[in-house]
A and B are shown apart, each in its own frame.
Chain A
């Protein structure tokens, strides 16, 4: 138990303080270069302070590590309680890494209100780390809600023409979901004898009725975030309107918060209800893979296509969690991390083209490989990763979940494995129409290949995608103990009459 400022606090507050500093430099865009540099320093620092989480992590215990405990609102027994296990720790690193990328991605593109833009991302990064590290229900809830605000602003201020509709839709959808969760938390506060400790809630016995209600409340909050079919329609709109950086954070991190909620709240707090309603989540997950896969096929807007592809890929995550075996849950977690890399990369690729042509329509492109060969090669790698090609990170999670699913139900696995065909179809068909072919128009003919900045951010992701595809062992090794302990916990009924 650490007193004072620990590593987790640093991962939360370093980006937030950096963001506030950037904000205080004022809204004068003539200082933009300084503001950008400051933001980059903040983001890199935020990543550096997170690295000890990985290097100092003890993979042999499922107990919370790097814990910090301080009273916050003693009157209600609310604590500033932080800690991570093998399930949450990788996401703090992923988030901190992504923050560096989005700062680089917004470097040249954002020319107005630069300070606010950079500050929003930095503050959001700290808040998201808080979500993954928070072990007090209320603390978690505050971070969970607060992280919406910067993203709302990012979409609403730097977004496309329909940004206000998208921002409000996004905000209401996710807010409505989480209000129910607040009610559930207050209920748990009372039944647990006045505690907001998440770990305490995981131990408290509950009746089936209570579990069912809690399940529904949590389900709404997390399913909207994942997003699961049928509460997914905010995501394509939000992506289409968001600036590139917003899409990257949305896809790479925000969606993971919902899936993380399933593992931290739903499964361990209401295991009996979860077992009862497995069929429901599995059905939604498989609909996400099949239905959304087909919907993605017909999209004419590249961002919408990748947004739908995200929903399909997240379907694997929720499916994996509902298999209640190690392959399923670890596969889901690996898929979450991989999707963080791959979808971030794809949105960055679309951003690279959008910055030049100012269109996201597939039909406005064709033959980009002729003028941007380096870009085409990197884009190919990410497209293949999105299609789940072995050797890339995109394969690992899907493979594990499918293997895990065959054990439980062959037909679930068969439906999920359709992604081999659908995923390749929508991704590579888009790639073909955009990248291959003869130069389609003057815009494409005038394209300049990626510059050093763009190469850097895509190359970083390419390395991540390949490293995780060729050698995923270090990532899964971190998770084993925590996942096994979760599985043991979920296998035990906590039903009380």
Chain B
């Protein structure tokens, strides 16, 4: 099989699975649906491995599959760019997707929409692969919107729940706000570069480094700054960066497998991937990089705070995801693109693990998601317990585990950056270490340790159809289809940092896929000079602030939720306003609902009633009809039919004419 066929197989195999499961779901039944989609994703994973080997051997590919459209001199194509950045993403996507597919067999076991669900997640895998394998902006946008569509469908999977269908509409619209910027960025690229092909754009980019454009009279901006910021606005939507982060916590209304796959491991990292892919452009604009870094820093710190007070197991992890996406974004801003991708990868493993673990807990708890109702679950769910502990330790950056290597590298990279805003970013990512450790272990202790609180839980949360098990609520370990993916994800969560940091960050792994202007942005060079192997890095960490901050976070969580359990309540009462602000998520949801949603409806209503109905129809259209009617009525009066009226009019007329002419 030649390589091009292999490339094509990667996205098409999941697509085929999705189509079969979606269109013939009834015929092939439940088993058929999960077999065909898992087979599709498995094929994609295996092919990705083969491609990975091939790429490591030095073969890259950049070519067209078919021409989508031509217009004027512009030719828009669908094509693949297979390089080292692409294959890393392909492996992450197909691997996590495969785990999630297997897991879904257990998680969605009783759901009437079983086949539909498998069809959607396979379709998602296809879309995400098209996104990462693209060699041009058009297909990038295609994949970008397609994953958004599947995300919309999956958040609203349980379409009879009001919260779910509110959340999916919100997610779609907020993403569209990002896409608005993204599309304009693509438009500017097309307007100035005359092509949407990555390679041609990147090649021409340096010539535009000093190009200025005037968008408003008297103000000129660097073209590349405008383009990069517009593109990044797209990333802010997809990767849920402040202030377009609002959709991600609500997306937890979707079934847990997709929270792991879409809203933690893959889709939300599309923005990170995109910026890394665009490194030849972003490197030419310090302003854009500063912007990226500051947005990321705000997200990393302030979204982490929100995770500290959530009680829904999935929402805690969702805010954690927001915060970690902020970390990746900060890394991008510091020109440490490879570090961002590295964290993207390790995060995909341990965050998918945490979400799937949470899902396992939710199954065990009979669909109760409130961590206040849990406690002591380690006895009942040992595999879930151990794997989630591994995930949490990786997340908080325990030296030696995967998250440590990626996160510590980000912190160091930011400290090495000289861009405007890097001081704040360095503070934010360092402080977030404590926050991360605190909410992660607050969750961990409340779920797996302490008193067993599930006996007094009310079955109020059993709002999934058909989930009224007759028996009482004793948690139980999940079936093997659920625990196997947990174990398989726990393994890379442990070792992938240690094993891959050297090649990925310092071995010039990405080669020409990532471009860095080392003279202006020396972060990676400095990191490289300080790096002496993973073991040394772990040892060295013990003497740095992040390690002690993480430890402090764990210990605070232990103290508050294991030792002095009365304290959290007291702190909550003492910090009334602060707590209210956090509880309201800084008020973004309320403001958006009031200002944007309400405002648009209000303006729309006014325009309709005053513009269309009153002014145009009332005044102009029906008004002129009335005028015509009135004139007609008056002229009707003139034709009365009485001879003397006509005679009188004639006499007057003759008299007037006579005066005029004579």
Contacts and interface: CB of A to CB of B under 8 A. Distances in A.
A234, A330, A389, A421: residue with the most chain B Cβ atoms closer than 10 Å = A421
A60 to B, nearest CB: 14
B70 A233 contact: no
Interface in A434-491: 435-438, 471-473, 476-477, 480, 484
Contacts of A330: 71
B208 to A, nearest CB: 15
A326 interface: yes
Contacts of A389: 145-146, 149
Contact of A384 (B149, B187, B604): B149
Interface stretch (A5-13, A151-159, A270-278, A292-300): A292-300
Nearest to A377: B22
Contacts of B165: 432, 436-437
A420 B160 contact: no
B183 interface: yes
Contacts, number: 137
A118 to B, nearest CB: 32
Interface stretch (A188-196, A202-210, A256-264, A409-417): A409-417
Nearest to B213: A410
A473 B177 contact: no
A429 B184 contact: no
Contacts of A438: 160
Contact of B604 (A236, A295, A410, A472): A295
Interface stretch (B390-398, B486-494, B611-619, B645-653): B611-619
Given A384-B149, A407-B191, A471-B68, A295 B142 contact: no
Given A295-B608, A411-B215, A429-B169, A476 B190 contact: no
Contacts of A484: 72
B604 A437 contact: no
Contacts of A391: 142, 145-146
B71 A400 contact: yes
A37 B329 CA distance: 63
Contacts of A425: 173, 176, 600
Interface in A358-393: 367, 369-370, 380, 384, 389-391
Contacts of A477: 70
B172 interface: yes
Contact of B156 (A294, A297, A406, A436): A436
A471 B66 contact: yes
Interface size class of B (residues with CB under 8 A): 35 or more
Contact of A410 (B149, B172, B188): B188
A365 to B, nearest CB: 13
A472 B69 contact: yes
Contact of A396 (B69, B160, B611, B612): B69
Contacts of B141: 390
A405 interface: yes
Given A326-B72, A389-B145, A471-B66, A428 B169 contact: yes
Contacts of B600: 294, 297, 422, 425
Contacts of B612: 233, 236, 295
A480 B69 CA distance: 11
A429 B603 CA distance: 17
Contact of A421 (B68, B149, B176, B187): B176
B169 A480 contact: no
A321 to B, nearest CB: 14
Interface of B: 66-72, 74, 141-142, 145-146, 149, 152-153, 156, 159-160, 162, 165, 169, 172-173, 176-177, 179-180, 183-184, 186-188, 190-191, 213, 215, 600-601, 603-605, 607-608, 611-612, 616-617, 620-621, 625
Q: Which 9 A-B pairs have CB atoms at the shortest separation, nearest pair first?
A: A326-B72, A406-B187, A294-B604, A436-B165, A298-B604, A297-B604, A390-B142, A436-B159, A407-B191
Given A417-B183, A425-B600, 6 more contacts: A233-B616, A297-B601, A367-B160, A424-B172, A425-B176, A428-B173
